[in-house]
Amino acid sequence: MSFISKRFVDLSYFLQASKGYQGSKRFFYALLEDQSYPYKKYFDYFMMLLILSSVMLLIRGVKYPLPEYAIAYNDYVISIIFLLEYSLRFWVHSSVSKAIIQQFEKDELLNKKFRFSKVLSDALSEKWRYMSSVFAIIDLLAIMPFFHELRILRLFILFRAFKIFRYTKSLQQFAQVLASKKFEFFTLLVFTSVMISVSAVLIYVAEANNENSAIDTVFEAFYWSFVTLSTVGYGDFVPVTDLGRSVAMVIIVSGVAVLAFTTSIVVSAFTEQLDTIKEQKVVSDVSKMKHFYLVCGYSEVASIVAKRLFKDGLPFVILENNYERMLEASKLKFPIIAADPSKQETYETYGINLQEQVISVLCLQDSDVQTIYTALTIRSIHPDIKILSYLHEGKNRKKLTLAGINQIIYPQELIGVISKEFTGKPVAFDAIQVLRSQSSDVVMDEILINSRILSTKKSIGDLGIDTSKLILLGLYKKSEFHFNPADDMKLCEGDTLVVIGLNIIIEEYSLNLHKATV
Amino acid sequence: MIKEVLVFGYNEYAKEISSNFILDKFDVHVYVLDELSFQAAKSDGLEVELVELDDDWLDISRNFNIEEVICFCALDDDAQNVFLTISLRAEYKNIHIVAIATSKDSADKLRLAGANKAIAKLETTANVIVESLEKPVVVEFMNDVLYADKDLKLAEYIIQKESVLDKTYLHEITLHKDYNIIILAIADKELEAEFTFTTQGDKHCIDAGDVLVVMGREKDLQAFEKAIQ
């Protein structure tokens, strides 16, 4: 290995091992390229502000002289920021040091001679791939006004407007959708070019020597062809000969066809990509959600649960791979991802972080078989997450428990006990149903005793329940319920009060308990 | 006072209903529409009868005291359940009917057909699921009080004319404190199906016939019941 190759390998290992270097690279990559990075949007807003201010200065400068500081801001400050951004994007696009190390280790393993020149050329061609991308070219051109002494380069400020594409997701999506129809657009371009060229030549031949015709030059002939084919027809150049008018008729019909073809390409591109665009939107929305309930399956029960969650303003995301059900949920504007909840890759693909984002999982699928499979997938990703599940057949209860489901709702059992309870005490049962009903003003609710409340309220007597127009049913202390607790019962952090009262009074009472420490 | 429980149908819901009442020593009679369900109920040791949906149901009054009967319409098909409910109501004005429906829509139809109570399976289940997410402690508490066989109970007492609580105001009652009882609500006999909760009923005067809904330990409840009579 040559001296230079060795130095490069050493440097590569040094950079790969350097926490500071790798950390900064990760940070800048996230800031520039990672849509899920929460601070990226602020960076994007900042860049868009720079672009807008630059374009506004350009417009202002057309008729009025700009002050010196504005010129300096436009030519130097913005350009330098753009140059920095370009350099950082160039840096984070790929890792030369990583490529060198990989090649070096591979060659070492195979007892081959380390081909430094090859790896360097591969790494540089990767960088070139970035530099030759449309966005990178626009970025580079947007820096050009820095060389403002070359007056022509000032026009490159216009490229700054194109940079907006980079920071606006919807514009990017628009471009992506159109890019999916490259072949059709290329065909259309060829057809249009041929039509314009042929008609321009014909109109030139027919009109150029006619004294009454305004079309004198080849450029004017092309201009006329273009304006006519686009169906705009300014009327500044009009054919006067029979041949010229015949050409005009042909080109007008072709123009209508071109326009119709273009429209149909754009429409079909959007129709085809609509689901993908919607899905991308949901994925992006989900990545922005801090906490949510994950509903696996959109069964009949799940749809009612989703409606309640939606109505109560609780965040949730549905995973369902049945297309018709997905459409049904989409119509109700529920956040739904078309994916199988029982597959591990679903959570990776859609960036669902069970550990950080999901409060609890609701397995509400159509069968116990699906429920168990999904529960085990989720358990394998996150062993401690709370899973609540619907049980279809009583005989499968043990299997669901073994699959790690924390709470099982078995409707048959539920209806059975409700029926019995209703028969024994119909009035009391109805009273409880009213308390549990969403439409009732009087509700049963819970208030968690936290350190803030505890700093001033040490016992039940301190809570002032007697004067609050609330009924205190009891207190949960580490899952043990103390019914109608005495005034001298001590409060601890994590205790929960179960109270009955008017909704607004409970809210106000809870606020006052917290406020009392201020 | 309910003594006889008539369950129509023998699916998983009917099984759960039957077993809950058998545990509480009620007489459970099952009526089924097909041979398969008949055999299933019989093999579970239940008293079962094979019937037709368009039966005139006169046997019920011959065999039972209608005042002491509660019917559970738990057939699989909602339409059949509605037909059964309306048939029973047509024959017996005072019979107590509880019907199990798939959805809220079917439950509404069952109420129109004459069911005293219609339980919508889907909505009830969904409500329990959401409630256990929003208010887990309340759900745990309700399970302890309503469903689990624990000492703490809900009870309801009809206020008699000779009761010490007759003609008293809700906010004046202090008797319950001596028995460690909480008064939750009162159902006014004049305002059918309306409750006045103790948190809002300062000016409510209790009359004979009103139903007092209370909560307490079983022993305390018995003592309180004696005290108010």
- Note whether A120 and A102 are within 8 A (CB): no
In this prediction, residue A422 carries a pLDDT of 78
Three-state DSSP string of B68-124? HEEEEECCCCHHHHHHHHHHHHHHCCCCEEEEEECCHHHHHHHHHCCCCEEEEHHHH
- Note whether B169 and B206 are within 8 A (CB): yes
Q: Which amino acid is at A130?
A: Y
CB distance B17–A431 less than 8 Å? no
In this prediction, residue A293 carries a pLDDT of 95
A452-477 CB burial, b ≥16 within 10 A, e <16: ebbeebeebeebebeebbbbbbbbbb
Higher pLDDT, B175 or B159: B159
% of chain A exceeding 90 in pLDDT: 37
Q: Which of A140-154, A175-189, A211-225, A319-333 has the lowest mean pLDDT?
A: A140-154
CB distance A446–B138 less than 8 Å? yes
Across B84-109, average pLDDT:
92
Report DSSP state, residue B145. I
- Note whether B165 and B173 are within 8 A (CB): yes
**Measured between CA atoms, how close is A398 to chain B, in angstroms?**
17
Q: Which amino acid is at A247?
A: V
Residue A333 scores a pLDDT above 70: yes
Report DSSP state, residue A335. -
In this prediction, residue B201 carries a pLDDT of 57
Give the residues across from A483 on adjacent strands: A474
Interface probe, candidates A358, A366, A387, A483, chain B, greatest B C-beta count within 10 A: A483
Residue A74 scores a pLDDT above 80: yes
Residue A318 scores a pLDDT above 90: yes
Cα A349 to chain centroid, rounded: 13
CB distance B137–A434 less than 8 Å? no
Which of the four CATH numbers 2.40.30.10, 3.10.450.40, 3.40.50.720, 3.30.300.30 does domain B4-125 have? Answer: 3.40.50.720
Other CB atoms within 10 Å distance of the CB of residue B155: 21
**With an 8 Å Cβ cutoff, is A502 touching chain B?**
yes
Across B35-62, average pLDDT:
89
Other CB atoms within 10 Å distance of the CB of residue A42: 10
Domains of chain A are 3-167 (no CATH), 182-273 (1.10.287.70), 289-413 (3.40.50.720), 425-515 (3.30.70.1450)
Residue A517 scores a pLDDT above 60: no
The whole-angstrom separation of Cα A307 and Cα A326 is 14
CB distance B199–A314 less than 8 Å? no
Across A348-364, average pLDDT:
91
The whole-angstrom separation of Cα B215 and Cα B222 is 11
User: Sheet harboring A316-319: ordered strands across?
Assistant: A336-337, A316-319, A292-296, A358-363, A386-390, A407-409
Nearest residue on chain B to A310, alpha-carbon basis: B130
CA atoms within 13 A on the CB side of A516: 18
When pLDDT is cut at 50, 70 and 90, the band that residue A439 belongs to is: low
Q: Which of A117-121, A262-266, B198-202 has the lowest mean pLDDT?
A: B198-202
Summarised one tens digit per residue, pLDDT across range A226-273 is 999 998 889 899 999 999 999 999 999 999 999 999 999 999 988 888
**Measured between CA atoms, how close is A40 to chain B, in angstroms?**
33
Residues 6+ apart with CB under 8 A from A19: none
Residues 6+ apart with CB under 8 A from B83: B53
Interface probe, candidates A393, A419, A422, chain B, greatest B C-beta count within 10 A: A419
Residues in A closer than 8 angstroms to B25, CB to CB, are none
Summarised one tens digit per residue, pLDDT across range A369-425 is 999 999 999 999 999 999 999 999 989 999 999 999 999 999 998 888 888 777 777
Interface probe, candidates A362, A393, A415, A446, chain B, greatest B C-beta count within 10 A: A415
Across B208-220, average pLDDT:
86
Closest in A293, A421, A442 to B200, CB measured: A442
Residues 6+ apart with CB under 8 A from A422: A429, B98, B117
Summarised one tens digit per residue, pLDDT across range B57-77 is 888 888 888 888 999 999 999
In this prediction, residue A276 carries a pLDDT of 79
Closest in B21, B128, B140 to A414, CB measured: B128
**With an 8 Å Cβ cutoff, is A420 touching chain B?**
yes
CB distance B184–A500 less than 8 Å? yes
Interface of A with B in 310-339 (CB under 8 A): 312, 314
Summarised one tens digit per residue, pLDDT across range A157-179 is 667 777 777 777 777 778 888 88
Q: Which of A291-305, A442-456, B180-194 has the lowest mean pLDDT?
A: B180-194
Cα dihedral across residues B25, B26, B29, B30: positive or negative: negative
Give the residues across from B99 on adjacent strands: B73, B118
**With an 8 Å Cβ cutoff, is B211 touching chain A?**
yes
Q: Which amino acid is at A417?
A: V
Q: Which of A346-355, A436-445, B62-71 has the lowest mean pLDDT?
A: A436-445
Residue A276: phi and psi, rounded to 5, are -65, -45
Query: In the structure encoding, which two tokens stand for residue B186, read together?
Result: 């009162």
The whole-angstrom separation of Cα B13 and Cα B17 is 6
Q: Which residue is it, tokens 């006072």?
A: B1
The whole-angstrom separation of Cα B82 and Cα A152 is 84
In this prediction, residue A443 carries a pLDDT of 85
Summarised one tens digit per residue, pLDDT across range A463-498 is 888 788 888 888 888 778 888 888 889 999 889 998
Of A398, A372, A397, A399, the closest CA to residue A387 belongs to A372
The whole-angstrom separation of Cα A179 and Cα A194 is 22
In this prediction, residue A451 carries a pLDDT of 86
Q: pTM (2 decimals)?
A: 0.66
The whole-angstrom separation of Cα A406 and Cα A330 is 29
Strand ranges inside A189-330, DSSP E:
292-296, 316-319
Higher pLDDT, A37 or A254: A254
Helix boundaries (H) for A94-133: 96-109, 116-131
Q: Where are the domains of chain B?
A: 4-125, 151-228
When pLDDT is cut at 50, 70 and 90, the band that residue A518 belongs to is: very low
CA atoms within 13 A on the CB side of B19: 15
Q: What is the mean pLDDT of chain B?
A: 86
CB distance B135–A446 less than 8 Å? yes
**With an 8 Å Cβ cutoff, is A481 touching chain B?**
yes
Nearest residue on chain A to B13, alpha-carbon basis: A412
Higher pLDDT, A206 or B173: A206
Residue A1 scores a pLDDT above 70: no
The whole-angstrom separation of Cα A294 and Cα A316 is 6
Pairing relation of β-strands A471-477 and A496-502? antiparallel
Interface probe, candidates B11, B143, B146, B202, chain A, greatest A C-beta count within 10 A: B146
Class of residue A498 by CB neighbours under 10 A (exposed 0-12, middle 13-18, buried 19+): buried
B206-217 CB burial, b ≥16 within 10 A, e <16: bbeebbbbbbbb
Q: What is the mean pLDDT of chain A?
A: 87
Residue B32: phi and psi, rounded to 5, are -125, 160
Q: What share of chain B is helix, strand, coil (3-state, %, to 5)?
A: 40, 25, 35
CATH code given to domain B151-228: 3.30.70.1450
Residues in A closer than 8 angstroms to B142, CB to CB, are 432, 436, 444
- Note whether A363 and A404 are within 8 A (CB): no
Nearest residue on chain A to B133, alpha-carbon basis: A360
The whole-angstrom separation of Cα A359 and Cα A362 is 10
Across A20-41, average pLDDT:
88
Pairs of residues, one from chain A and one from chain B, whose beta carbons lie less than 8 Å apart: 179
Nearest residue on chain A to B188, alpha-carbon basis: A427
Interface probe, candidates B141, B171, B183, B206, chain A, greatest A C-beta count within 10 A: B141
When pLDDT is cut at 50, 70 and 90, the band that residue A151 belongs to is: low
The whole-angstrom separation of Cα A34 and Cα A383 is 28
CB distance A444–B140 less than 8 Å? no
Query: In the structure encoding, which two tokens stand for residue A127, read together?
Result: 């960088």
